[in-house]
Amino acid sequence: MISNSQRSLRALTALAAALVVFAALPARTANAAEAKILYERLGGYEGISAVVDQFADSLFADKRISQFFIGMSDDTRAQFKQKNKNLLCNVTGGPCKVISRPANVAHHGLGITAGDFEVVAGDLKDALNKFKVGPKEQEEVFAIILSLRSQIVDRPDETRLSRDVPAKR
The pLDDT tens digits of the residues spanning 76-115 come to 999 999 999 999 999 999 999 999 999 999 999 999 999 9
Residue 156's pLDDT is what?
72
Residue 160's pLDDT is what?
56
Q: Which positions of the chain have pLDDT values less than 70? A: 1-34, 157-169
Q: What gap in Å lies between CA 31 and CA 49, rounded to an integer?
A: 27
pTM over 0.85: no
Q: Roughly how many angstroms between the first and final C-alpha of the chain, as a whole number?
A: 86
What is the number of helices (H) and of strands (E) in the chain? Answer: 8, 0
Q: What gap in Å lies between CA 86 and CA 113, rounded to an integer?
A: 25
Q: With 0-12 CB in 10 A as exposed, 13-18 as middle and 19+ as buried, what is 54? A: middle
Backbone angles phi and psi of 77, in degrees to 5: -65, -40
